[in-house]
Structures are given as C-alpha cells and as structure tokens.
A and B are shown apart, each in its own frame.
Chain A
C-alpha cells in the first residue's frame, strides 16, 4: 500500500498550483486537498510530477487566499465517481456534489463544500441473485434494486480481479447504499466487504465486455436527423455551430425526445440558466414512453461557465463514466455534452499556465488525442448475460468565429460518426433546426430506407442550384419546370426539415408519423404540377405549405387530423395535370 503523501504549496497561478512533497510518493492523476488558512479543503488533481519532489495540481475551486506553505494532503486515489442506485433524477456539479443538497447549506457555491454524492438515507429494496459459496469476480451481479424505471443491478466492483467466492450475501430487504450487502473472499482467504456503491476513476474507460458496431438508428423525434442524418444506438455525433445557431435547443430536444433509456446531460462551461431550464422543467414533464416523469431517466452534471474552470474536464469524464456504468446495466444511454469546446478551453488554460508548447489557436498539441479517446468510450457492449447496452455521445462544439476549420471541430469530426453542422444563414432565416442540409452527414442508417434518403437529398441539391440561378437570372430567367422543382425543395424544407422545438406537437415526431409525413412529402414531390406561370406556381405551393403546416400542428388523435390530411391531399391532386385537361 502506497503511503499517502503530504506536501506544501510553493506557487499559485489561478487554478494551477505548484507543490513540493515532504513525505510519501505521488501518483499522477491522484486527488489532493489543499488546506487553506480558514481550514477549508480545496480539491485538486495532480496533473504533473516533476523532479525535486515538485508536483503540479489543478485546483477544482477558487484559489483565492491560498498561501505559499499551505498544507497539501494527497489522497492516493484518482479522481473517481461513486456508482450505485440514486444517480438517476439527480443534479450534481462537476465533482458529483448534489446541487439541491448544497443549496440547503449555502445559496452560493462556496468552495470547500462537499456533500455525499448518493443519498445515504434512501432504503433500496435489495433482492439477491447469488448465494453463499457462488463464484464471483468484478462485474458479477450480486442482486438488484428497483431504481425509478428499471431494476438496477448491484455489481461486484469492476476493479476486483480474479476468482472470489461469496461468503455472505444480504437477504432480501431494504438497505441504504452505506450498508454492507455482501462479503467476498479471494483464493488467499482475504475477505472484502461490499456495498451497493463503489468508485471508478473517471479518466479510465470501463473495459467493454465485448464490443460491437452501432447499426440501429436511435429515433430522436427530430425529423431532419431521423430522416437524413441519423444517430445510432452506440453512435457519436459532432454538432458544431456559431453562437445562437441552435446547439442547446437541439440538445434539449434530444434529451426530451430521444428513445434512450437513460439520458445524461453534461452542461459543460455553458449558461447556468440552460441547465436550470432542464432540471426545473423535466420533473414536471411526463415521458410518453414510460408514463413517468422525464427526470426519472435523466442525470444532469453541471459545471456551468462561471464555476471553476478546472472542473469542466472532470464533469465531462464523470458523465461518461456514469454512462458506461448504466450501459453495463444493459441500457441504452445517451450523453449530451454541451459544449466540448469549453472543456477544450479549460485544457488550454491549464496548458498555457504550465507553459506547454501551444498548437493551433493555443490549444495543447494533445487535444485531438483526448477528444478521440473521449468519443471512443461510446459504443455497443455485449454483456455477459447476453443483453446489450449502448452508450451514444452527442457533443456540441463552439468554434471561434463559427469557423469549423479549428482544432476542436476538426478533431471531433474525425472521431464521430455523424456531423450536424449548424449554419448561420439558416438560423438567421429562422429555418430551425439550422442543420446544414447539404454539408451534414451521417454514416448510420436512417429510419427511412436508403433510396428514400437519396431521393430527398437529390431534391435538396437541385433546389439549391436552382435557387442560385434565380438569384442570377431572376424568376423569369428559369423555366416553369425548374421553378416547380425549386418550390418542391422549398416545401420539403419548410414542412418536413424545419421543426419548431417549442411546439408541443411539431416539436417531436414519432417514427410512425415520420413515415406518414414522408409518404405525403413524396406524394407531393412525385405529383406533376400542371400549373403555369411563376405567380400561380408559388401560390399553389403556398396553399400546400399552409395546409401541411396546419396538419403538422395537429395530434393524430385530435379532431380534424384526418380532415386536414384529406384537405392536403386534395390540394395536391387538384392541380395535377391541369395543363393536360385544359
């Protein structure tokens, strides 16, 4: 057993603190506490071990009032997250302190405050699934407890290796996460007491039992994604965009409507108000798929922009580790990270203070390695019991000046399977979601079939070409035929790709309805319009657009839904081949 080190502060530069150890040995990545004058213990992490007993710490809290000579107590343990029942439905800061609990102590996020991450007063109803004498090792399921929507498996901590036997197992009953529920013994006869909760170092990916390739699309309720640029269970997506283009609205929409079992929101270095909207609204919202509160499947970790910068990194990794844990439960987990650029910027700040050699835009050289390693933690896992779990990651990127040609966007592009580039031109024109229809892509399968996707993309490309011709030559400069094709592309955009996130009905589209809408859109596109003259053509499509939008805003079980659909079909058919009949 390593002897825990002690040391003294020798330098302070914002969140970067230099210390010299006076005793014991130090591990890179271990947690250390700096004890300041008023006795508060500030959490930090060793990020560099140097000659002459020097170590560098990044401090997760404000370093005001620290002094040279302040005591440093090393913990010997890496930064870890507590895993066990009770995570779902909670809201924590980047170091897993539950925010509602902190608020009971102070209105402000005073430094040095810590609260147990998992509520130790809740009694969980434990049902064992092993018996005394059974074999056990890391990952063996000891039993389960009901947590919100599902049975939460209680594992032997994944860090335990080699064969053990169950020496004691708690009988069915109610236990807190603090109470022992099992004792296991290794081959040497050494016993280990186990609880329902254990720790895992956040920066160490949990090993996959067996990995598989993401192939099944995850319905998100967002039409442009599900139809054109899908995300798969276990897949990854890169969502860059200039400020105000709609990254966060998209993330919130995904958090509400995606068909995932568990959604983890990592609010990283963004506005506090946005996280507040989620954790104050979600408890009130009923998830139509489960009939329960949306918050029941959600975990929010918030290190917002005015919280200590060094903890941004911790928050992203913590979200991921919790995600991996729920994947091991056999669930489909979705991580929404908004914004990964803030994490990268935090790394840049620390790197700068360490005087490392800067790369482009002063980001550290190793930024791309970190980003690809992060997205690599997503994926499909085949579990020992034959079930599958998945972890999908959708990360927003906030490129300087909205220019995608910068290190974080580029590294993310290389590491992810779908690319949803937000365009300023589209968001200015209020064509939400402002996902670029031409430049975005996804390697995952769509809810539509392949031909149908190409059919839509082709129309969009034609529409774009004709639009630029119109600018050059005027409406009079193009044929009626081309103008009709252009109007069809515009219609596809207006009634199918555009979606108002804030509308109760339009804001989410189920796979069935997507299919129905697509059929209608296809019908319109395939119908030969016999109208002549630009004014007439435009007016024809205006009426269709209006009727289609009205239809979009109706619930399928609502009165008038079928009537509106018939009205739409009639409008489409009415002018069909008019010319021929004349």
Chain B
C-alpha cells in the first residue's frame, strides 16, 4: 500500500496530535518523523472530514510542527512467535533487553471477543499454596482477578509467587508504570524460579510515555491469546491497572471528553472490560488467566469500583495480610465442591464466625465485650489472622483445611460452629491431636 506523508500538523497536545490528511483509516498506525529523522509511532483515533486526530505513543513532548506524519496503511499489530519467550519488550512492542529483533508473525491487537459459545465453564482449580486463596477464595483456571491493595503493599511479591508456584505453561507480565526496582524484582523472581524460558515481559516504566503504558495490556493479551489458541495455559499478570486507568483519564481529558466520575471517562468500565474479558478457557484450545493489581485507597474509587464490576472477584490485601472480607472469588463454587468434602462447609463456618467476631470488635470500642463467648470469638480472630491470613505462608490445601479445623477446635465447642454432625465426626480434632496448629493451653 502507498504510504502517504503529511506535513501540516495543526495542533499538538500532551498525547494527541491533529493534522489534515486524506484517505486515512480509523485506528491506522502512523509514524511521527522528526526533523532529524527519528521516528515514533502514533495511531489514528478520530476522523472529521480531513481533520485527523492521532494518539502519540511517544507522548506530545518534543513533537513540533515541522515533524511529518506518515500513515503506514496497517493497524497496530504485535509480533508473535515462540522465540519471544524469555524476552522483554516495551509498550511499543520493541525488544528492550538488548537482544535481537525477531522476525515473527504479526497478530492483531485489541481484536474482537471470542464467541461466548467457544468458552468452557471454568472448572480447574489452580493450587497456589496460599491458604486465603485455596481455602476461602479458590483461584480457577481462566479467572480474571485483581489484587486490591494500597500502593506499597507486597502485591507484586504475591503475583510473582502465584505465577511461579503454579503450573502455567506461559507467563506474560504486563508492567504498566512500573518502578525500575519492581521491574527488576519480577525479572529476578522469574529467573530464580527457572521460569524465564516460559515468560515474556512487556514493560512500561515511568520514564516511557503514557500511551505506551496504555498499550501494554493490549500487547500482552494479544500475545497471550495466541498462545492460548495454541493450547497453552497462559497466565497474564497486569500491574498496575490503576496506573493504566489514570493514563486513560489523561488521554481522555486531552481529547476534551466529558468525564463521568472523578475525571475518568464514561467508558472506563468498557475499556477495562475489553481487556479483562480476554480471560477465557477456550474449547479445543488452552486458557488465559489474568491476575491484576489495582492499587487503591478506597474501594469506592472509580478504578477499583469499575474493576470489581468486571473481574471475577478480587483479593484484598491490607497491612500485608490477605483479608477475608473484601476478598471474593466468584468462581470458587465451580471447584470447591470437588476438593475435599469438608471444604465448602468449613469455609462457610470459618467465615461466619469471623464475621461474628468482627461485630465484637466494633462492640469492643464501647468496652461492652466481657462475656466468655465474645472473648473466645476475639481470640479466634487473632488465631485466624496469624495462622491463615499471611499470603506468604505456603500450605497445601489439605493442610490448610486441617488448620481450619484445628483453629475451630482451639476456640469453640462442637455445637457452636454450625457444622453438620457428620463432618464434625469425621474431622473434629480432639485436644492434643491437632495436625497443623500449635495447641495453646488455657489456664
């Protein structure tokens, strides 16, 4: 196709450029050519007569009216080949690990959704070794689920743990707005775990332009989808989608879009959804699981709020613990009836008692908690937190379930826990016979 070059740039914004041009396609890829011959990518995002609006991958800084725009006659694509495994790429799709550029097939980015009838109902548990996940909010193959946490919580460590401790065929890391040390951390963990040869990283750091950051999830997911179509079970890690949403807000504002909530564009939900919905267990092929990070201070903030409406639950991390309340795996019921017969019931019983304990915590502020049962609830809550909520304590599911029984027996009488007599008979540990918990003796 003939590539046309235009010179009459009308306007340059933070990440947006306006130019007059003809015969341009919506979403076409273009190049900004600087007077010194340097190049940067851009993409058409709107057309109005001969007025073309482009999104600048390298940002607007340094772009001048004597730059030229060349339309490349193709959409945004990303390379795809097995040789990408072990490599690191930028939000431009260019290698940044000093290795050679690869000759690979190009695949489309942000393509259409898979036909829902091609989706399988998710049914395979992913064992993570994290009790709060395996017991209470079981992770399921093809799930899309973020970690909600304040900035600074050890969420990347948990992401790396899950990615390396599970049985993924391919791991794709999409880093958006990563700090250099975070990038380095991921790389190191992957190498230590010997997973490098099954991992691809797409990395955007704070020094790169925001539009490149916006591209990272799309590139990561497009490549992941190809592996999944080839039959691989792929894990995609996206950190941090709050950064990503902020970039989206900046670009929307630069286009004078009417904001919906707190300056975020009205399509934030659809934008996030079209990425997270790439997660799928595909009939006759592999699967794509997405684990994200959504940093937040308050769940009602538009980013975690919209994310929660899209993902299949969330893991809520606070003060280094994985919380029970606020966390949810919506797919857990697909699998937790096929693990161990007591799994569902003990999960519910533990949760119910913990929520009773939380009531007592409220009441404690009024100094009104004095009765024996309430005090035992509060003790139970302490044990629960210490023994089960640590995201970095590795326990097999069965051990974690035994630990739950130990914890109940430590603090309660059989009839207080609301479990069926049948289960109690089978699993209730007598004092002195705890399997996991170190028994505490009361004087």
Contacts and interface: CB of A to CB of B under 8 A. Distances in A.
Interface of A: 10-14, 18, 37, 62-69, 91, 99-100, 102-103, 106-111, 242-244, 269, 271-273, 275-277, 279-281, 302, 304-307, 309, 342, 345, 348-349, 352, 355, 358, 361-362, 398, 400-403, 428-430, 470-477, 502, 534-535, 538-539, 542-543, 545-546, 549-550
A470 B360 CA distance: 9
B346 to A, nearest CB: 13
Contacts of A99: 115-117
Interface stretch (B11-19, B259-267, B394-402): B259-267
A256 to B, nearest CB: 15
11 contacts: A64-B25, A67-B23, A108-B115, A275-B116, A276-B121, A280-B121, A305-B310, A306-B274, A348-B260, A470-B368, A475-B368
B277 A12 contact: no
Contacts of A65: 25-28, 75
Contact of B118 (A14, A103, A348, A473): A103
Contacts of A546: 415, 418, 420
B313 A244 contact: yes
B203 interface: no
B269 A66 contact: no
Given A309-B267, A400-B302, A272 B260 contact: no
Interface in B112-171: 112-122, 142
B106 interface: no
A348 B261 CA distance: 12
B397 to A, nearest CB: 20
Interface in B331-382: 333, 348, 351-352, 355, 359, 362-363, 366-374
B97 interface: no
Q: Name the 7 nearest CB pairs between A and B, nearest first.
A: A474-B368, A401-B300, A305-B273, A243-B308, A306-B277, A64-B27, A11-B48
Contacts, number: 218
B305 A109 contact: no
Contacts of B348: 430
A100 B282 CA distance: 15
Contacts of B363: 470-472, 474
A11 B44 CA distance: 12
B48 A535 contact: no
Contacts of B415: 539, 542-543, 546
Given A66-B26, A474-B370, 17 more contacts: A10-B48, A65-B28, A91-B117, A102-B117, A106-B115, A108-B114, A109-B114, A244-B313, A244-B330, A273-B142, A273-B312, A305-B310, A306-B273, A352-B257, A361-B260, A401-B300, A401-B305
**Which of A11, A103, A474, A476 has most chain B Cβ within 10 Å?**
A474
Nearest to A355: B258
B24 interface: yes
Interface string B296-324: 00001110010011101110000000000
A362 B252 CA distance: 14
A477 B369 CA distance: 10
Contacts of A12: 26, 46-48
B362 A100 contact: no
B242 to A, nearest CB: 16
A244 B116 contact: no
Contact of B305 (A243, A269, A550): A243
B270 interface: yes
A542 B419 CA distance: 11
A77 to B, nearest CB: 26
A102 B326 CA distance: 39
B439 interface: no
A73 to B, nearest CB: 19
Contacts of A402: 300, 305
B256 to A, nearest CB: 9
Contacts of B362: 471
Nearest to B51: A11
B241 interface: no
A355 B278 CA distance: 31
Contacts of B404: none
Nearest to B309: A243
Nearest to A68: B47
B300 A304 contact: no
A430 B352 contact: yes
A106 B273 CA distance: 22
A103 B115 contact: yes
A137 to B, nearest CB: 40
Given A271-B312, A474-B370, A543-B415, A67 B27 contact: no
B371 A534 contact: yes
A429 B358 CA distance: 10
Nearest to B118: A107
A102 B260 contact: no
A569 B415 CA distance: 18
B49 A10 contact: yes
B112 A111 contact: yes
Contacts of B403: none
Nearest to A100: B117
